[in-house]
Amino acid sequence: MSATDAVLPDRAPGRLTADVADPLLRPRFGRIWWACLILCLGLSILMVVSLVVLVAGGVGIWGINTSNVWGFALVNYVWWIGIGNAGTLISAMLLLTRQRWRTSINRFAEAMTLFAACIAGLFPIFHLGRPWLFYWLVPYPNTLGLVPQWRSPLVWDFFAIASYILFSLMFWYTGAIPDFATLRDRAKGRIAQVAYGILALGWRGSARHWQTWQSYYGAMAAMGVPLVISVHSVVGMDYAAGIAPGWNESIFPPYFVVGAMFSGFAMVVVLAAIFRRALNAAHLITDRHFDVMGKILLTGSLIMTVSYATEWFYGWYSGEHAEQHVVATQLWGDFWPLYWGMLAGNCIIPQLYWWPFFRRHLPSTILIAIAINIGMWLERVVITVVPPARGYLPSQWSSYWPTLWDWALFAGTLGFFGLLFTLFLRVIPAVSIHEMKEQVAEEAPT
Amino acid sequence: MSQIFGPGATTAARLALPSLVIVPAVILATLIFLRWTDYATGEGRIVDQNVPFSHRHHTAEIGIDCRYCHSSVTQSASAGLPPTETCMTCHSRLWSQEEMLQPVRASWESGERLRWNRVHDLADHVYFNHSTHVTNGVACTSCHGAVGEMRLIGQQEPLTMGWCLDCHRDPGPNLSPPEQVFSPIPPREAKVDAAAIHVLLEDYDIDSSTLTDCTTCHR
């Protein structure tokens, strides 16, 4: 097996630690990092400004109207939570199925999940119009004499996302405790020592610590697997529980779960490439990793294609004029470029992954992954915008066009995600050092 | 390598970790509890008025009916505040030089209405209709308290949504027979007779199944 074929680095465990940990402890981090940070900070300020303007002016500054009540808020919510889906998949499902290649990517995929899920949560809350009353979604003893409306998908959403974010945070943090201890022990500065020391929670690496940690981590992973399915199923039910033609379909939950994994994995590929370049870590994330992820993306693409075909079939088979009209509008109506762009990004372009060359050639694989992310975003636009604009009542037919503030908030959240990720790369080991070393040690020739 | 943390660090961590849960929980519980206090609901609050009008004196003591001043209470959503002319039917003759009534006379002369400060202030997104309540057996005193005993009017009930719903979910016990609806002081004996409640519900023809629809109060 050649060096680029390995999923595990061909290095001594001690050097691995140094590879990952030492850059974090250096006082300077390079100009590119600062450039990224400032760019993302600028966009994050844009996000804050658009949220302030939104709260001051109300949701009318968005392009929503009486038919398209959701608009970009829900488009971006679903897109972000979809991206947030892959981290738990990688950390939990691939851990339980003992996929060795996950150790290189699970830490930053989990970080991606956490950041994306938090950003996703912003959209429905600010879409409420009175975001400061979001706690009305929680069943707490109140003077209103009310509990939340359990038949409302918004309430399901709240529980699905809240439990997902809490889980992701705990799983990510506890997975990193041994690495925080490593950084604590290697840090030279007092501040770094104390900060990493507090995060490490007194980890000494004793056998008892490891035993407790492993049983805890395995149990958490097992608990996480249902969450991978539940969180995006609930997002799918947001739509499926609505009675608009094109939404009220039982295929939505599984179709959304696969779509989420698909877009999430595509984002992992993009971030893995950035990370590999930024930290000069070609030995940690090898071409083989991109090869494996390319295969997963190809599978996802095929399932998405089948799902779209199923929607067309449903439209025809239902015999329902409104359903057929929605499908026809998607394919040939005002929004046809979006729908065909979605099909290109999600179904056609990923077929390149059949060829090993495209899975291993880094620039191609990144471009394909970006195409998938754009395709998945377009999918959410098409799903969110077309059915309510072409409902059962022709008098309610409308068009939707995002405003400047819709775009500003979306761009802002992209920047905020980048900001969180840039800071993450600076202070937290982006690769799980201890899991990587464990794998290397287990497979070392004796 | 020297020790990073002192000997007390473990104890500090053991205290800090549970407090990550306990402190937010206590803060939330306190915030939740505060919503029931009089401070938050305004129950028992007495509002200063430009003219210290005594409801006790005008209703229970000298026997003016509620509707003499709040004349639209049986016909419209708002009970209505009396114009200065209503005050002056008596006070052009009685206590006509009283210092306390100077704002009333000033209003009479200038034509500018008296400014009263609202005591019972519902949220703007609540649709409350006085007439539908008083013509269906909800007495003035059921919500406003024993007005006939108050020198200065104060808020007697919490006016929270939960308080509204208590009655909307089970209106029977709060109904009065028509002759008692405008009584300034509620009858002393509590009316708990199930048969009497049933008769009142029948007489007023109250269908309680729709009383808790969202659109009953939020339109």
For chain A, give every domain's residue range. Answer: 3-138+155-443
Domain count for chain B, please give it. 2
DSSP letter for each residue of A70-115 = SHHHHHHHHHHHHHTHHHHIIIIIHHHTT-GGGGGTHHHHHHHHHH
**Residue position matching structure tokens 């199944």:** B209
Supply the pLDDT for residue B191. Answer: 58
B105 inside domain: no
Ramachandran region of residue B128, left (φ > 0), alpha (ψ -120 to 50) or beta? beta
- DSSP classification of residue B62: T
In sequence order, the β-bridge partners of residue B175 are B138
Supply the pLDDT for residue A2. Answer: 43
Which A residues, 135 through 174, put their C-beta within 8 Å of a C-beta on chain B?
A: 140-146
The C-alpha angle with vertex B128 and arms to B124 and B131, in degrees rounded to 5, equals 150
Supply the pLDDT for residue A446. Answer: 55
Rounded Cα distance between A96 and A98, Å, is 5
Decide if domain A3-138+155-443 falls under CATH 1.20.1630.10: yes
User: What is the number of CB-based contacts under 8 A between chain A and chain B?
Assistant: 42
A79 touches A376 (CB < 8 A): yes
A359 touches A353 (CB < 8 A): yes
Supply the pLDDT for residue A94. Answer: 82
Supply the pLDDT for residue A1. Answer: 38
Per-residue burial over A325-338, b if 16 or more Cβ lie within 10 Å, else e, is bbbebbeebebeeb
Q: Which tokens go with A52?
A: 């302030």
Mean pLDDT of B184-205: 82
Length, in residues, of chain A: 446
- DSSP classification of residue A428: S
Residue B55's pLDDT band (cuts 50, 70, 90): very high
- Mean of the per-residue pLDDT values of chain B: 91
Residue B24's pLDDT band (cuts 50, 70, 90): very high
From the number of C-beta atoms within 10 Å of its C-beta (0-12, 13-18, 19+), residue B177 rates as middle
Name chain B contacts of A197, Cβ cutoff 8 Å.
4-5
Supply the pLDDT for residue A445. Answer: 64
Which of A218, A256, A197 has the alpha carbon at shortest distance from A79? A256
Max intra-chain CA distance, chain B: 97
Q: Are residues B150 and B188 in the same domain?
A: yes
Question: CB count, 10 Å around CB of A313?
Answer: 11
Rounded Cα distance between A216 and A49, Å, is 41
Q: Are residues B166 and B71 in the same domain?
A: yes
B199 touches B137 (CB < 8 A): no
pTM (predicted TM-score)? 0.86
B51 inside domain: yes
Q: Which tokens go with A154?
A: 């918004």
B92 inside domain: no
Q: Are residues B75 and B170 in the same domain?
A: yes
Q: Are residues B18 and B58 in the same domain?
A: no
| Radius of gyration for the alpha carbons in chain A, expressed in angstroms and rounded | 23
Supply the pLDDT for residue A3. Answer: 45
Rounded Cα distance between B129 and B217, Å, is 9
Rounded Cα distance between B89 and B108, Å, is 11
Which of A270, A143, A420, A210 has the alpha carbon at shortest distance from B34? A143
A94 touches A433 (CB < 8 A): no
Supply the pLDDT for residue A39. Answer: 95
Rounded Cα distance between B163 and A260, Å, is 44
Which structural domain range is residue B18 located in? 9-40
B207 inside domain: yes
Rounded Cα distance between B71 and B80, Å, is 6
Cβ of B160 within 8 Å of Cβ of A202? The answer is no
Name chain B contacts of A140, Cβ cutoff 8 Å.
28, 32
CA B186 distance to own-chain centroid: 15
Q: Which tokens go with A218?
A: 């395995």
Which B residues, 45 through 104, put their C-beta within 8 Å of a C-beta on chain A?
A: none
| Radius of gyration for the alpha carbons in chain B, expressed in angstroms and rounded | 25
Q: Are residues B122 and B35 in the same domain?
A: no
Q: Is B36 on the interface with A (CB under 8 A)?
A: yes
Which A residues, 121 through 140, put their C-beta within 8 Å of a C-beta on chain B?
A: 140
What is the ipTM for the molecules in this complex? 0.78
Q: Are residues B76 and B165 in the same domain?
A: yes
Supply the pLDDT for residue A228. Answer: 82
Rounded Cα distance between A211 and A215, Å, is 6
B59 inside domain: yes
SS3 label, residue B138: strand
First CA to last CA distance, chain A:
18
Q: Are residues B28 and B57 in the same domain?
A: no
Q: Which amino acid is at A161?
A: I
From the number of C-beta atoms within 10 Å of its C-beta (0-12, 13-18, 19+), residue A311 rates as buried
Instruction: Please identify every stretch of chain A with a pLDDT value under 70, giving residue numbers as ranges.
Output: 1-11, 444-446
Cβ of B160 within 8 Å of Cβ of A143? The answer is yes
CA of A220, closest CA in chain B: separation in Å? Answer: 19
B204 touches B136 (CB < 8 A): yes
Per-residue burial over A168-185, b if 16 or more Cβ lie within 10 Å, else e, is beebbeebbbbbbbbbbb
B93 inside domain: no
Supply the pLDDT for residue A409. Answer: 95
Torsion of CA A22, A25, A27, A28, to 10 degrees: 50
Q: Are residues B59 and B31 in the same domain?
A: no
pLDDT at B78 over 50: yes
Ramachandran region of residue A131, left (φ > 0), alpha (ψ -120 to 50) or beta? alpha
Rounded Cα distance between A409 and A21, Å, is 35
Cβ of A201 within 8 Å of Cβ of B13? The answer is yes
pLDDT tens by residue, B140-190: 999 999 999 998 999 999 999 999 999 999 998 889 889 889 999 887 666
Which of A144, A145, A184 is opposite residue B4, by nearest beta carbon?
Answer: A184
pLDDT tens by residue, B86-122: 999 999 998 888 899 999 999 999 999 999 999 999 9
Rounded Cα distance between A190 and A46, Å, is 35
A437 touches A104 (CB < 8 A): no
Q: Which tokens go with A395?
A: 């008098």
Supply the pLDDT for residue A263. Answer: 92
Nearest CA in chain B to A190: B4
Question: CB count, 10 Å around CB of A45?
Answer: 14
In sequence order, the β-bridge partners of residue B138 are B175
SS3 label, residue A430: coil
Dihedral angle sign, alpha carbons of residues A176, A178, A184, A187: negative
SS3 label, residue A395: helix
B195 inside domain: yes
Name chain A contacts of B9, Cβ cutoff 8 Å.
202
Cβ of A146 within 8 Å of Cβ of B166? The answer is no
Supply the pLDDT for residue A12. Answer: 72
Q: Are residues B35 and B136 in the same domain?
A: no
B33 inside domain: yes
* Residues in Cβ contact with B64 at an 8 Å cutoff, skipping those fewer than 6 apart: B58
A205 touches A181 (CB < 8 A): yes
Q: Are residues B76 and B166 in the same domain?
A: yes
Supply the pLDDT for residue A41. Answer: 96
